[in-house]
Chains A and B, each alone.
Chain A
Amino acid sequence: MAEPKLLKFEVLRFRPETDKEPVFESYEVPCMEDWVVLDALNAIKDDIDPTLSHRWSCRMGVCGSCGMLVNGRPILTCAAFVRNYTGTIRVEPLSNFPIVRDLVVDLESFIEKIKSVKPWIIRKLEKDVAEGEYRQSPEQLEEFKQFSMCINCALCYAACPVLASEPEFLGPAAIALAHRYNLDSRDEGNAERFETLNDGDGLWGCSYANECSQVCPKHVDPAMAIQQAKLTDALQWLHVLPKKSFA
């Protein structure tokens, strides 16, 4: 096996019991060629500085735990290959979220926003399980499939410049999720989500930065969801279109 190379990392630390504010600490980590930044963080925790706190789980880009800023850009650290970086690698917690400890941020506001758009199937009449599945054609599935791929990693929230100054903004993931349900042929809850979306802090807070779609690791393209939702929302507000998801 090839020899590990010593790479320099600068990691933002914050220990609320002792630190007044976050500070950078430097580490030199022996890294294998195919490692990701997460592997280096684990090596720091295991062998160099066990007091480093960070979130991670699946290490394959599907659980959404390990989002951080690497050299200033929001990325899943399990998908950030060290071979793609030169010089010192700077690791910080996600921007736009209060920092709890080291690389761990407070995601409660994110969860609240997700919940506020009522992300579940809303129907007047539920079909009985014994009657089988709702029929949904592959074309109908394609309409919302892309927006259902969100892993709730919150990278889009870290990148959004609107959230930097307006933390009350609903945010890309929540709006994309609302839009996913509005587009689902089985859902009839468009009217129930309308109030939350049709708000200055809802859909209309988005000012076309498109950073969310640039950083999304799952190609959900929340910016697209938001603009589509805006058009639908505007037409519904004008009563040109009914507040229904589909004919």
Chain B
Amino acid sequence: MEVSRHDIVLVGGGGAGLRAAIAAVEADPKLSVACVSKLYPMRSHTVSAEGGAAGVARDDDNLDLHAYDTLKGSDFLADQDAVEVFVEAAPKELVQLEHWGCPWSREKDGRVSVRAFGGMTTKRTWYATDKTGFHMLHALFQTSLKYDRIVRYDEYFATKILVENGRAVGVAAFDMRTGKMHAMLGRSVILCTGGAGRIFPFTTNAAVKTGDGMALAYRAGVGLKDMEFVQYHPTGLPGTGILITEASRGEGGYLKNNKGERFLIEYDYGVGGKAELGPRDMVSRAEMREFQAGRGFKGPYGDYVHLELMHLGEEKINKRIPFVRELAKNYVGLDPVFEPIPVRPVVHYMMGGVDTDIDGAAELPGLFAAGECACVSINGANRLGSNSLTECLVFGARSGRAAAEFSKSSMAGDERNALDQARSEEARLERLRGKHGGEKIAQIRRELNLATESGCGVFREEESLRAGLDTVVQLKGRYADIGLSDRSLIFNTEVVQALELGNMLDVAEAVVLSAVNRRESRGAHTRTDFPTRNDGEFWKHSLVKFAADGPRLSYKPVTKTRWELEERKY
């Protein structure tokens, strides 16, 4: 078994991961950072983000306003100290990225342009046409190539966090190319592995979003916070789930039902004058209610509504949202300059994740997390669009610096337990490869998707949640009996799928368990049996922790600094 030693072991090479790596080596050029990713970094899911990244830019805007918008968007579940830190760092991070070559769209005078976005009182979303995540990720990846101290381990899959004397000292990761296990040792570990949209059947998320880092932290005893809050993006293509950016509404698009009405204005869905620029949870719920009222269009992949862009004109579409046009033409076969795009809510983002503080530190000393896989929390019960890309940068940088600081101060100690754990992982992997069993990976995955969709969709209630939870637990039992056909060592993607499925099952259990026990409706979590927000009983974060006989649910208080709780009306 190979052993690699670095100062910081980073798992995940997306927006947050690369930002953390750069922040760490800039904080201390002597540190060496291992960047362990199951993909080549430029393929990470950050690349699919389209709309933009929010940061105060204009003179008519201020940090308090951004903080308030974010807090209100979160249905007041976000930690206010974290939000304050976030909005302050946001513009600086976006400028830093600009210095690193990110081709932000510009005004005539050469300054960066900003656009309107859902839930934001004023324009503060920086954008690079409508491929912001793509440009940001490539700028970060290409900049990271400058630093020799960032050592990439591409297409390595991390299977366990190695713990020595109660501290995270690295990960066991196997090289997908050779099939051999490596022990990656360091003085701190940063998880930047993204969310887990693939536990649901219809999602904007890529194949790789299987909640790996969340599961790793969970099994190492760290709590997963606010897992019940799953964001449905209002405009995904039916069937494939491909994302049609919120920027299409930001630039003036309309959402219409089968009667041709702009239903967000016509009926009271709580978005008021914001209409199509309401927060995502409200717009998604509105669409579902339209379907329930029979005002949706019927299609082979379920009901949908129309996203109309025709009135924007070809020039504006080509200039501001050309990727939307390309996607509609390729995947739906229509040109949005002339026809409306069919859209429906699809799973997009997980507000919940590894419980961390405002520096990205988790409860386990030496373990940090940032990006979608972490929950600081700045997004609370619902995230505003364009806050996530900024979140990757702000908390990626903070956790990178915090991990660098931690690495400096901690002594590299004994490795014995860590290496033993790595060797057991090697044996476990050996047993998994070509394992005999009666269950099929694809079948369990499909049943998991059905269970989360029916139990834990946009609208939830006690019975279906309980049924969903039971199914997930059953599936976990059946997972122990999966059979694999591919016995090879070299680039065995069946083993990878099996490990990812195990991670998805753990994450799904945390999601449904948190959901069934939150008996109120807040943000993206809507209970038809408890339709109102209940601050008295539920103004707190859910926390799910691993235990041998089943996950334990507890609660954590929300941090409040300056803002009082309000009713969330737009």
Give A residues with C-beta under 8 Å from B: 1-2, 15-18, 34, 45-47, 49-51, 53-54, 56-65, 79, 100-102, 104, 107, 111, 114-115, 119-121, 126-127, 129-130, 132-138, 140-141, 144-145, 148-149, 151-152, 177, 181, 184, 186-187
Contacts and interface: CB of A to CB of B under 8 A. Distances in A.
A129 B48 contact: no
Interface in B128-178: 131, 134-135, 138, 142-143, 145-146, 154, 177
18 contacts: A2-B300, A17-B489, A50-B441, A50-B485, A51-B485, A57-B39, A59-B242, A60-B242, A63-B206, A64-B42, A65-B40, A115-B145, A120-B143, A120-B146, A133-B104, A134-B98, A137-B109, A184-B101
Given A54-B493, A58-B48, A120-B145, A64 B442 contact: no
A45 B486 CA distance: 11
Interface string B197-235: 000000000111000000000000000000000000000
Interface SS of chain A: helix, strand, loop or mixed? Answer: loop
A137 B39 CA distance: 35
A59 B134 contact: no
Contacts of B96: 129
Given A16-B490, A101-B491, A129-B99, A107 B40 contact: yes
A219 B95 CA distance: 28
Contacts of B110: 135-137, 140
A65 B47 CA distance: 12
Contacts of A126: 99
Contact of B484 (A18, A50, A119, A127): A50
A114 B138 CA distance: 12
Give the bracket for the number of chain B residues in contact with chain A: 35 or more
For the complex of A and B, the 6 pairs showing the least CB-CB separation, nearest first, are A135-B110, A46-B442, A101-B491, A51-B486, A57-B206, A119-B142
B95 A132 contact: yes
B325 to A, nearest CB: 13
Interface in B108-123: 108-112
B106 A138 contact: yes
Given A51-B494, A100-B490, A135-B111, A62 B300 contact: no
Nearest to B326: A61
Contacts of A46: 441-442
A62 B48 contact: yes
Contacts of A152: 40, 42
Given A64-B43, A152-B42, A137 B489 contact: no
Nearest to A47: B442
Contact of B488 (A15, A61, A79, A151): A15
Contacts of B208: 57
A88 to B, nearest CB: 24
A133 B111 contact: yes
Nearest to A46: B442
B330 interface: yes
A69 to B, nearest CB: 18
Given A64-B43, A104-B491, A120-B145, A50 B95 contact: no
Nearest to A64: B43
A101 B489 CA distance: 10
A60 B101 contact: no
Contact of B330 (A1, A53, A61): A61
Contacts of B207: 56-59
A28 B489 CA distance: 27
A133 B95 contact: yes
Contact of A100 (B111, B331, B491): B491
A53 B101 contact: no
A120 B330 CA distance: 32
Nearest to B96: A129
Given A17-B488, A47-B442, A51-B485, 19 more contacts: A46-B441, A51-B494, A53-B492, A57-B207, A60-B240, A63-B44, A63-B206, A64-B42, A101-B490, A120-B100, A121-B143, A126-B99, A133-B99, A134-B99, A135-B110, A136-B106, A140-B110, A186-B99, A187-B101
B423 interface: no
B105 interface: yes
Given A58-B206, A62-B131, A127-B99, A17 B146 contact: no
A6 to B, nearest CB: 19
B31 interface: no
B43 A50 contact: no
Contacts of B104: 133
Interface string B39-62: 110111101100000000000000
Contacts of B485: 49-51
B40 to A, nearest CB: 7
B533 interface: no
A144 B134 CA distance: 16
Pick the most buried of A79, A144, A186: most chain B CB atoms within 10 A of its CB: A186
B103 interface: yes
A135 B39 contact: no
Contacts of A141: 103, 105-106
Contact of B138 (A102, A133, A148): A148
